[in-house]
């Protein structure tokens, strides 16, 4: 098992409420004629920390990209915070400003400084005054432990620093839900820990999170639910203890033996 | 095993080595020459060959330049002076033609006593451009504005500008300098108004004309404010309609009436008196300023998901790129008159500017599309994920990066367009290269003069185009953000 999450985790704020944050019913998606997501049913409560695992091509990234409509689903319903995602552009913009997303390749804006990356959306989408947006941004940059890099450009930072800026950039919109799409897959081993620590700190504050990741140590330490996907379907979901110690399906057992076996 | 006990003695470095200077052969001019001129037998031969060609060129043309005559009133007088000074067989350049006729190459047939007007217009153009082109560097602005002020005022005094206008120029130049020191963005309103001021100064006529041109969009804005609560689309359409109707129906009469009540006019100059570099620069600057925004719109339209918008853009771009510029210019000068209602007179320079603009915009659109395509998909996704709508994402994320990538292509298009302005000779306008030289040669005194005007005109074109090219390199360097 991974060594990365050895520190003590404060679980006092990690409470799951009854309130439903994300409700996905019978969702299907095709890329052309390829049936990439099949009958997905998923309910996420506020405060849940969900890790989605699975082999590549199983549709896990596509699933979370449907949640903020970076991908369009063709059948079924996705309701975020009571707002259903349809082709109505107003609903899409509303959902997107409530749902933060962190990408595998960071996708920072290279022509803007770190601080400008963080203040852009609050200023232009939320209409926050510049001074206030900058104060908020500095607060979140301190939280991800890189306030001293605020005036640099993303190209001058290391991968781990860039990913932490990307997390701060999302947090500046004060989202209710955070989506992580393989946030550590493009990082050097040395830098994975700093990003995972940032994500753990976020979980400790009670953020609703859905993470697509291969960091099973993180899943065990932080998640309250692990979902295993294969061939566009949810094959198994369980709490981390049972998921790792007691997998039910053969496919899950095989997957776990492959990624934990060495 | 070996004597060094490599396997048995562990090694730990306790002092780090400081960095040392490179060997002398690896630095300075010696290294540069070794690497660039004499790196091998082939390169050494090529270097010597190059030197030979340069020497041959200089040897051939040196006499011609060295025997230049600057003071003469005709080509024959030039030849006599050359023969008298350097002997019967000597050849020499007769740059006296430039000294005698420089004004026609610069201003065409613009009235001589009004030369100060285009001069001032050009000087003020530099002030208007300062916040657009040199927004980042106070030092560059100081140099540019200082040189502009000195040259413009000196030229205006020499050309006999009235004191009132000298005072006006001093006011604008000083004001520009002051705002440049304080906060350059405050100068942007002047940049926005400059096109109207420039048109008025060049063509003259009543000041009420440009004022009422401004009233149109102002009324449109009022209409937009009134209707925007009802429907955004309706308000936009109404604003455009109100502006156009005001311009077409009311602006002309209003200008006449206002002029009768309070005359605010300067002597007007007809378009057929424009010529030389005045004409080239007017068309070039207007074309550059208009084709960039049009090109951006066309490029975005071509990337659009909406079928109709995309198709219209593709058809426009492919059609315009498919015909030569001369065809468009002939359409502007001849065919347009058939299609317009009889009696409408539509200024020839304006028609040419429109054609040159749409021609350059089609190329510009493709250049910018290349920049858009070069952006990683992740940039669009990140903008979407943050909740930015289409226009904000384009303006804040996509275009700043795409335009930066496209700078070399955009400036190439500008340079090409500026040089293409000489093609207006085919529709009877006096471009500096062909028509103006023909006009000069039509005079018996300068009949037969060829190379000297070409060198003069070519030299000025080179300076302007080289300037644009250097500016684009400066801009690329300034916008360099990725240190990867």
CA distance A209 to A21: 10
CA distance B2 to B8: 10
Q: Is B375 in CB contact (< 8 Å) with chain A?
A: no
- For residues B255-278, give the mean pLDDT: 87
Q: What share of chain A is helix, strand, coil (3-state, %, to 5)?
A: 40, 25, 35
Q: Which residues of A touch B376 (CB under 8 A)?
A: 105, 107
Q: Which of A61-75, B9-23, B454-468 has the lowest mean pLDDT?
A: B9-23
More reliable by pLDDT, B239 or A52: A52
Does residue B230 have a pLDDT over 70? yes
Q: Domains in chain A: how many in total?
A: 1
Q: Which of B387, B403, B481 to mutate to test the interface with A (most CBs of A within 10 A)?
A: B387
- For residues A66-91, give the mean pLDDT: 90
| CB-side neighbour CA atoms (13 Å) of B20 | 6
Distances from the Cα of B460 to the Cαs of B52, B146, B424, B464, in angstroms? Answer: 28, 21, 18, 6
Helix (H, G, I), strand (E, B) or coil at A211: strand
Q: What percent of chain A has pLDDT over 70?
A: 97
- Nearest chain B alpha carbon to A95: B387
Confidence of residue B237 (pLDDT cuts 50, 70, 90): confident
Q: Where does residue A93 rank: exposed (0-12), middle (13-18), buried (19+ CB within 10 A)?
A: middle
Helix (H, G, I), strand (E, B) or coil at A229: strand
pLDDT of residue B153: 95
Is the separation of the CB atoms in B92 and B78 below 8 Å?
yes
Q: To 5 degrees, how large is the angle CA B436–CA B440–CA B445?
A: 175
Instruction: Give span(s): CATH 1.10.3720.10, chain B.
Output: 273-484
Cβ-based neighbours of B58, under 8 Å, separated by 6 or more: none
Residue contact A109–B397, C-beta within 8 A: yes
Name the token pair of A227: 């979902």
Q: How many CB atoms lie within 10 A of CB B140?
A: 14
Q: Is A185 in CB contact (< 8 Å) with chain B?
A: no
pLDDT of residue B265: 84
pLDDT of residue A1: 41
- For residues B72-81, give the mean pLDDT: 89
- For residues B279-307, give the mean pLDDT: 94
Residue contact B378–A70, C-beta within 8 A: no
Confidence of residue A90 (pLDDT cuts 50, 70, 90): confident
CA distance B118 to B111: 11
More reliable by pLDDT, B47 or B261: B47
Name the token pair of B147: 């040189």
Nearest-CA neighbor of A16 among A209, A216, A221, A236? A209
Q: Is B479 in CB contact (< 8 Å) with chain A?
A: yes
Q: Which residues of B touch A169 (CB under 8 A)?
A: 386
Q: Is A184 within a domain?
A: yes
Q: Where does residue B445 rank: exposed (0-12), middle (13-18), buried (19+ CB within 10 A)?
A: middle
Q: Which of B262-266, B273-277, B296-300 has the lowest mean pLDDT?
A: B262-266
Architecture of domain B273-484 in CATH?
Orthogonal Bundle (1.10)
Residue contact A121–B386, C-beta within 8 A: yes
Q: Report residue A86: phi and psi, to 5°.
A: -125, -165
Q: Which residues of B touch A110 (CB under 8 A)?
A: 401, 481-482
Q: How many CB atoms lie within 10 A of CB B434?
A: 16
Q: Which of B374, B379, B382 to mutate to test the interface with A (most CBs of A within 10 A)?
A: B382
- Nearest chain B alpha carbon to A123: B388
- For residues B114-122, give the mean pLDDT: 94
Q: Is B14 in CB contact (< 8 Å) with chain A?
A: no
Does residue A4 have a pLDDT over 70? no
Residue contact A153–B376, C-beta within 8 A: no
Q: To 5 degrees, how large is the angle CA A13–CA A19–CA A24?
A: 115
Q: Is A189 within a domain?
A: yes
CA distance A15 to A47: 6
Strand A208-212 with A49-53, pairing: parallel
Facing A103 at nearest CB: one of B382, B392, B483? B382
Is the separation of the CB atoms in A44 and A208 below 8 Å?
yes
Task: Give me the helix-helix angle, B348-374 and B399-420, nearest 10°.
Answer: 140
Token pair 């074109």 in the structure block, residue? B461
Is the separation of the CB atoms in B355 and B286 below 8 Å?
no
Name the token pair of B46: 């090529």
Does residue B103 have a pLDDT over 60? yes
pTM assigned to the model? 0.86
What confidence tens digit (pLDDT) does each residue in B308-360 have?
Answer: 999 999 999 999 999 999 999 988 888 777 777 666 667 889 889 999 999 99
Distances from the Cα of B85 to the Cαs of B59, B69, B90, B95, B231, in angstroms? Answer: 20, 10, 9, 16, 82
What confidence tens digit (pLDDT) does each residue in A138-158 have?
Answer: 999 999 989 999 999 999 999
Is the separation of the CB atoms in B421 and B284 below 8 Å?
yes
Cα dihedral sign, B337-B339-B340-B342: positive
What confidence tens digit (pLDDT) does each residue in B385-411 have?
Answer: 999 989 999 999 999 999 999 999 999
Q: Which residues of B touch A68 (CB under 8 A)?
A: 384-385
Q: Is B305 in CB contact (< 8 Å) with chain A?
A: no
DSSP state letters, A59-113: SHHHHHHHHTTSS--SEEEEEETTEE-SS-HHHHHHHHHHEEEE-TT----TTS-
Q: What share of chain B is helix, strand, coil (3-state, %, to 5)?
A: 75, 0, 25
**Which one-letter DSSP state was computed for residue B271?**
G
pLDDT of residue B1: 46
Interface of A with B in 68-97 (CB under 8 A): 68-70, 89, 93, 96-97
Residue contact B392–A124, C-beta within 8 A: yes
Strand A208-212 with A177-181, pairing: parallel
CA distance B43 to B215: 67
More reliable by pLDDT, B342 or A255: A255
Give residue A210's domain range. 20-104+177-260
What confidence tens digit (pLDDT) does each residue in B180-226 have?
Answer: 898 888 999 999 999 999 999 999 888 888 888 888 888 889 988 88
Q: CATH number of the domain at A251, please.
A: 3.40.50.300
pLDDT of residue B235: 84
Mean pLDDT across chain B, nearest whole number?
Answer: 89
Q: Is A229 within a domain?
A: yes
Q: Is B386 in CB contact (< 8 Å) with chain A?
A: yes
For residue B245, the Cα-to-chain-centroid distance in whole angstroms is: 32
Token pair 């156009």 in the structure block, residue? B244
Q: Is A108 in CB contact (< 8 Å) with chain B?
A: yes
Strand A34-45 with A20-31, pairing: antiparallel
Q: Is A6 within a domain?
A: no
What confidence tens digit (pLDDT) does each residue in B409-437 have?
Answer: 999 999 999 999 999 998 889 999 888 98
Confidence of residue A177 (pLDDT cuts 50, 70, 90): very high
CA distance B368 to B361: 10
pLDDT of residue B400: 93
- For residues B29-53, give the mean pLDDT: 87
Q: Is A125 in CB contact (< 8 Å) with chain B?
A: yes
Q: Is A120 in CB contact (< 8 Å) with chain B?
A: yes
Nearest-CA neighbor of A190 among A38, A4, A6? A4
- For residues A104-120, give the mean pLDDT: 94
- Beta bridge partners, A27, equal A40
Residue contact A124–B404, C-beta within 8 A: no
Cβ-based neighbours of A36, under 8 Å, separated by 6 or more: A29, A30, A59, A62, A232
Q: To 5 degrees, how large is the angle CA A21–CA A24–CA A28?
A: 155
Q: Is A214 within a domain?
A: yes
Nearest-CA neighbor of A74 among A41, A38, A27? A27
Q: Is A165 in CB contact (< 8 Å) with chain B?
A: no
pLDDT of residue B66: 87
pLDDT of residue B232: 74
Confidence of residue B118 (pLDDT cuts 50, 70, 90): very high
pLDDT of residue B294: 96
- For residues B151-179, give the mean pLDDT: 93
pLDDT of residue B397: 95
Q: Is A146 in CB contact (< 8 Å) with chain B?
A: no
CA distance B34 to B95: 42
Confidence of residue B6 (pLDDT cuts 50, 70, 90): low
Nearest-CA neighbor of B108 among B433, B452, B454? B433
Q: Is A156 in CB contact (< 8 Å) with chain B?
A: yes
Is the separation of the CB atoms in A228 and A205 below 8 Å?
no
Q: Is B25 in CB contact (< 8 Å) with chain A?
A: no
Q: How far is A110 from chain B (nearest CA, A)?
A: 7
Q: How far is B352 from chain A (nearest CA, A)?
A: 37
């Amino acid at each position: 098992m991974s060594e990365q999450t050895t520190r003590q985790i404060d679980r006092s704020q990690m409470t799951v409420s009854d309130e439903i944050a994300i409700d996905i019913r019978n969702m299907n998606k095709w890329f052309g004629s390829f049936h990439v997501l099949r009958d997905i049913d998923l309910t996420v409560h506020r405060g849940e920390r969900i890790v989605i695992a699975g082999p590549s091509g199983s549709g896990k990234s596509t699933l979370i990209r449907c949640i903020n409509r970076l991908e369009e689903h063709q059948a079924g319903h996705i309701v975020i915070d009571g707002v259903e995602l349809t082709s109505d552009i107003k609903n899409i913009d509303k959902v997107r400003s409530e749902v933060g997303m962190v990408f595998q390749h960071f996708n920072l804006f290279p022509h803007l400084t770190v601080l400008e990356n963080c203040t852009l959306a609050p200023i232009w989408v939320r209409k926050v005054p510049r001074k206030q947006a900058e104060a908020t941004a500095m607060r979140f940059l301190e939280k991800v432990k890189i306030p001293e890099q605020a005036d640099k450009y993303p190209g001058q930072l290391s991968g781990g620093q860039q990913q932490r800026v990307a997390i701060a950039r999302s947090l500046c919109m004060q989202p209710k839900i955070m989506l992580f799409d393989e946030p550590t897959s493009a990082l050097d081993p040395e830098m994975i820990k700093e990003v995972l620590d940032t994500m753990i700190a976020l979980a400790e504050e009670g953020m609703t999170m859905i993470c697509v990741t291969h960091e099973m140590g993180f899943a065990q330490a932080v998640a309250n639910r692990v979902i295993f996907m294969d061939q566009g379907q949810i094959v198994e979901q369980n709490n981390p203890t049972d998921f790792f110690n007691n997998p039910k399906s053969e496919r899950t057992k095989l997957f776990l033996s492959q990624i934990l076996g060495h | 095993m070996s004597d060094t006990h490599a396997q048995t003695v562990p090694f730990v470095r306790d002092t780090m080595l400081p960095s040392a200077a490179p060997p002398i052969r690896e630095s300075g001019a010696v290294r540069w020459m070794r690497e660039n001129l004499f790196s091998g037998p082939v390169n050494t031969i090529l270097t010597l060959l190059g030197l030979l060609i340069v020497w041959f060129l200089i040897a051939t043309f040196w006499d011609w330049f060295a025997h230049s005559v600057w003071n003469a009133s005709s080509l024959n007088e030039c030849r006599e002076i050359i023969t008298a000074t350097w002997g019967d067989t000597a050849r020499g350049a007769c740059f006296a033609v430039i000294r005698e006729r420089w004004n026609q190459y610069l201003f065409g047939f613009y009235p001589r006593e009004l030369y100060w007007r285009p001069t001032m217009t050009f000087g003020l153009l530099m002030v208007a451009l300062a916040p657009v082109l040199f927004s980042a560097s106070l030092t560059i602005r100081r140099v540019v504005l200082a040189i502009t002020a000195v040259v413009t005022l000196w030229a205006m005094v020499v050309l006999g500008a009235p004191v009132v206008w000298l005072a006006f120029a001093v006011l604008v130049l000083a004001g520009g300098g002051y705002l440049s020191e304080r906060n350059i963005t405050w100068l942007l309103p002047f940049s926005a108004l400059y096109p109207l001021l420039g048109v008025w100064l060049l063509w003259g006529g009543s000041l009420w004309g440009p004022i009422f041109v401004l009233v149109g969009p102002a009324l449109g804005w009022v209409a937009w404010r009134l209707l925007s609560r009802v429907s955004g689309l309706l308000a936009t359409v109404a604003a455009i309609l109100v502006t156009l109707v005001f311009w077409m129906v009311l602006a002309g009469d209003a200008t006449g009436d206002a002029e009768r009540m309070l005359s605010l006019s300067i002597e007007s100059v007809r378009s057929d008196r424009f010529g030389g570099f005045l004409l080239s620069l007017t068309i070039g600057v207007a074309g550059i300023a208009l084709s960039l925004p049009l090109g951006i719109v066309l490029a975005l339209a071509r990337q659009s998901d909406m079928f109709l918008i995309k198709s219209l853009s593709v058809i426009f771009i492919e059609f315009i790129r498919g015909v030569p510029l001369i065809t468009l210019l002939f359409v502007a000068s001849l065919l347009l008159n058939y299609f317009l209602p009889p009696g409408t007179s539509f200024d020839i320079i304006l028609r040419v500017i429109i054609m040159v603009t749409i021609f350059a915009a089609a190329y510009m659109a493709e250049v910018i599309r290349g920049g858009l395509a070069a952006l990683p998909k992740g940039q669009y996704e990140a903008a979407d994920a943050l909740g930015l709508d289409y226009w904000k994402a384009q303006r804040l994320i996509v275009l700043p990066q795409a335009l930066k990538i496209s700078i070399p292509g955009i400036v190439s298009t500008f340079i090409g367009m500026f040089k293409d302005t000489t093609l207006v000779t085919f529709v009877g306008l006096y471009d500096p290269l062909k028509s103006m030289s023909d006009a000069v040669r039509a005079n018996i005194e300068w009949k037969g003069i060829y190379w000297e005007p070409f060198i003069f005109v070519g030299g000025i074109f080179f300076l302007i185009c080289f300037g644009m090219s250097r500016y684009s390199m400066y801009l690329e360097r300034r916008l360099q953000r990725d240190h990867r």
